Structure 1
Amino acid sequence: MNGLEISPFITDLPKVELHIHIEGTLSPSLRWKLAHRNNVPLAYATYEELLASYAVTYNHRPEMNGDKSRPTFFEAYFAGCQVLCQEQDFYEMAMEYYTRCQQLNIRHCEVFFDIQTYTRRGVPAEYALNGYMRAQREAAATLGVTSYWILCFLRHLPAEEGMADYETARPWACLADGTGHNLFRGVGLAANEYKRPPLLFEEAFQRAVADGLKVTMHCDVDQLDHHEHIHEAIFKVCGGRGADRIDHGLDAYSRPDLVAGLKERNIGLTLCPHAYHRRQPTEVLFPKIQFLWDSGVKFCLNSDDPTYMHNVWIDGAMQKAYTYCTFSKRDMRQLAINGVEMSWADNDVKKAILAELAAVNVEET
């Protein structure tokens, strides 16, 4: 990982992860297994060829003069989704991630998922929803990892389609009237946001808010109209109330009005340092993160799509910030606390994790 070793301090730190796409945790070994179990053709004759395909640094900005000679990130990501066909597949993928959470000292996570990827090719929505719900409950009971999920509308698809799939998934939500199955507690936006501003999905956001759910949305780095998207997320969506969180949002650093808006409205950012480090040099990227910290913007650190991003998980993302910013152990603990405070976990869960973090030794040696 760029020549870095993960320090024992980072390894042992209790963690909360708020920016993780479940399909971005699909391991090559599970993908290979599910492809054969479900008779899904792969573009790779051997497992070794499949494994090698994950080593490519995918550039998923071809529309902005990126490298068009290789598969984009999204092409690789959605190709992996094709092996998910049955409820058991979704359950196994989620349990594989939850097991990793336990190994990484992740106490609570909030996981992005969608159903549009699957319903569009005839996979019933309940296969994904029930598979994830079964894993969610098993992980809490056997691994000590609590979670809520976040239903994402796919940015490149029609907003009306996302709204229809929200109605399909709604019985699995944490509904204000207490009738839902408590799988997901928020909605978000994911996939390619090129020329797809957040306000296109305002009707769905308002519907979710009326149901008692939280709202977040991706405002990715180095994207066309990135400042305008962040501005909408802070000041325009949800009837002007703004999002509860913003995923990524790093580019706010270069606009004083956006920095001020994030602070005034107490909107936290879920940053993913390694995801950006694939495209930006160390000396360019980490001063931006440092600037947001020094400016008082609240954020936490996360992994994003680790199996498609050099297998760098949350501990690696945190280690990069710890190494390349001027963060102390006390600062890193505060970033972990930020994650707890920004989360939509139940109050008793938050209290327990905060007590753990309070006991962490942050004295410099």
Structure 2
Amino acid sequence: MRLDFNACPRSHLDRDRVTYNHRKEVNGDDGRPTFLEAYFAGCQVLVTEDDFYELAMEYLAHCAEMNVRYCEPFFDTQAHTQRGIPAPTVLNGFLRAQQEGTKKYGVKSKWVFCFLRDRPLSEGLDAYEAARPWADLPDGSGLALFHAVGLAANEFERPPMLFEEAFRRAKKDGLHVTMHCDVDQKDAADHVHEAIFQVCDGRGTERIDHGLNVLDRPELIPGLKERDIGLTLCPHAYHRRQATEVLFPKIKTLIDKGVKLCINSDDPTYMHDVWIDGNMQKVYTYCDLEKKDIVQLARNAVDMCWADEDIKSELMNELNELRS
């Protein structure tokens, strides 16, 4: 199952006090920090290789507590290199945690390297080249920390096609491609359209992170289904901004239309400490699902992930037993 990676130690903040100005560029500046401003401020405490290692180990330990067997954490190096932290410090800390997390907690992981979309493409390409020795390359020459690339950070007026060169370079290296298409961002449906039909000539995107705005245009859901593109939804992230009676009928509509989707967490320490178990519970409750539906969502997660086939087969066998 895919879980988003958070870049700040886990905390238990009062729900009523955790509020952000979701999009300053859209909503105006009301004095509150945006989510991304809070997120990147939290990154300042990450300095040494041990910092990145300990952060990742805490994350994997919490995964184990929730009975997560496999995850695909998102990370980037640009937020740290621009602070003067060498990329190998980040990458080696995470690699050590990836390896030890499997041994200590039984949680296997392959990671997703992100380009920061509010930074220049050239900077992202340089970051990718610096990180490439840590990739899971087909010829076995890489260190196999990450096996996919994606997009992160502020997507305001930064559509996916701005990063076409980066996606093509990663695909040439045999890596998978996903990208955030945030919910109700400016031009959200246009971003989803680009992700489905244009990235790498319509053959690049394998998953879309979020992407709830596929409901906004009639050609988007057929495009997803024809290309077998799945959505990784994070319900609590949207529930902070959308009413229950608005949000969950949308998710139920996608399920009923046969869109392949799975449920995930999105930076949980910044979002009321709601992890994947809380997100699954919300969908189960507010979409009025049955237990078999939750099992199917978990099966979707296994199907959509990029784990090795032996891992996917093992997880599917467990889920088949639950279904019976």
Above 0.5 in TM-score?
yes
Given that residues 54 and 310 in structure 1 are in contact (C-alpha distance below 8 angstroms), is that contact kept between their aligned partners in structure 2? no
* Correspondence 1:178 to 2:162: no
Given that residues 60 and 66 in structure 1 are in contact (C-alpha distance below 8 angstroms), is that contact kept between their aligned partners in structure 2? no
The amino acid across from 1:116 in the alignment is Q
Within 5 Å, which residues of 2 pair with 1:3-42?
A: 16=1, 18-23=2-7, 26-28=9-11
Q: Residue 322 of structure 1 corresponds to which residue in structure 2?
A: 284
TM-score by length of 2: 0.97
Q: Per-residue displacement from partner, 1:258-277 (whole Å, max 9, x unpaired)?
A: 00000110000000000000
SS in 2 for 1:215: strand
User: By how many angstroms is 1:62 displaced?
Assistant: 1.5
* Correspondence 1:147 to 2:130: no
* Correspondence 1:134 to 2:101: no
**Across the two proteins, how many residue pairs are aligned to each other?**
324
TM-score by length of 1: 0.86
SS in 1 for 2:262: strand
* Correspondence 1:268 to 2:227: no
The amino acid across from 1:93 in the alignment is L
User: By how many angstroms is 1:146 displaced?
Assistant: 0.6
**Would the alpha carbon gap of residues 322 and 66 (structure 1) be closer, same or farther in structure 2, given more than 3 Å must change?**
farther
Q: Residue 220 of structure 1 corresponds to which residue in structure 2?
A: 182
Given that residues 268 and 297 in structure 1 are in contact (C-alpha distance below 8 angstroms), is that contact kept between their aligned partners in structure 2? yes
User: By how many angstroms is 1:224 displaced?
Assistant: 0.3
**Would the alpha carbon gap of residues 178 and 105 (structure 1) be closer, same or farther in structure 2, given more than 3 Å must change?**
same
Which one of 262, 271, 291 corresponds to residue 300 of structure 1?
Answer: 262
User: By how many angstroms is 1:28 displaced?
Assistant: 4.1
Which one of 63, 73, 76 corresponds to residue 111 of structure 1?
Answer: 73
User: By how many angstroms is 1:22 displaced?
Assistant: 3.1
* In 2: Cα distance, 1:274 partner to 1:177 partner: 39
Given that residues 19 and 247 in structure 1 are in contact (C-alpha distance below 8 angstroms), is that contact kept between their aligned partners in structure 2? no
Given that residues 246 and 268 in structure 1 are in contact (C-alpha distance below 8 angstroms), is that contact kept between their aligned partners in structure 2? yes
Given that residues 227 and 251 in structure 1 are in contact (C-alpha distance below 8 angstroms), is that contact kept between their aligned partners in structure 2? yes
SS in 2 for 1:106: coil
Higher alpha-carbon Rg: 1
* Correspondence 1:191 to 2:153: yes
Q: Which moved more, 1:259-268 or 1:351-360?
A: 351-360
Within 5 Å, which residues of 2 pair with 1:73-88?
A: 73-88=35-50
The amino acid across from 1:282 in the alignment is T
Q: Residue 360 of structure 1 corresponds to which residue in structure 2?
A: 322
User: Taking every aligned residue pair, what percent have the same amino acid on both sides?
Assistant: 61
Q: Residue 206 of structure 1 corresponds to which residue in structure 2?
A: 168
Given that residues 274 and 317 in structure 1 are in contact (C-alpha distance below 8 angstroms), is that contact kept between their aligned partners in structure 2? yes
* In 2: Cα distance, 1:64 partner to 1:292 partner: 27
Higher relative contact order (CA 8 A, sep 6+): 1
Q: Residue 54 of structure 2 corresponds to which residue in structure 1?
A: 92
Q: Residue 61 of structure 1 corresponds to which residue in structure 2?
A: 23
The amino acid across from 1:217 in the alignment is M
Which one of 286, 301, 311 corresponds to residue 349 of structure 1?
Answer: 311
* In 2: Cα distance, 1:123 partner to 1:85 partner: 7
* In 2: Cα distance, 1:181 partner to 1:68 partner: 45
Q: Per-residue displacement from partner, 1:212-262 (whole Å, max 9, x unpaired)?
A: 000000000010000110011001112331301000001102222000000
Q: Residue 218 of structure 2 corresponds to which residue in structure 1?
A: 256
* In 2: Cα distance, 1:156 partner to 1:115 partner: 14
The amino acid across from 1:107 in the alignment is R
Given that residues 178 and 208 in structure 2 are in contact (C-alpha distance below 8 angstroms), is that contact kept between their aligned partners in structure 1? yes
SS in 2 for 1:247: strand
The amino acid across from 1:228 in the alignment is D
* Correspondence 1:156 to 2:129: no
* In 1: Cα distance, 2:88 partner to 2:316 partner: 35
* In 2: Cα distance, 1:228 partner to 1:127 partner: 37
* Correspondence 1:238 to 2:203: no
**Would the alpha carbon gap of residues 125 and 356 (structure 1) be closer, same or farther in structure 2, given more than 3 Å must change?**
same
User: By how many angstroms is 1:361 displaced?
Assistant: 5.4
User: By how many angstroms is 1:26 displaced?
Assistant: 2.4
Given that residues 55 and 310 in structure 1 are in contact (C-alpha distance below 8 angstroms), is that contact kept between their aligned partners in structure 2? no
Given that residues 149 and 186 in structure 1 are in contact (C-alpha distance below 8 angstroms), is that contact kept between their aligned partners in structure 2? yes
* In 1: Cα distance, 2:266 partner to 2:306 partner: 18
Q: Per-residue displacement from partner, 1:147-177 (whole Å, max 9, x unpaired)?
A: 1000000010001100000000000001122
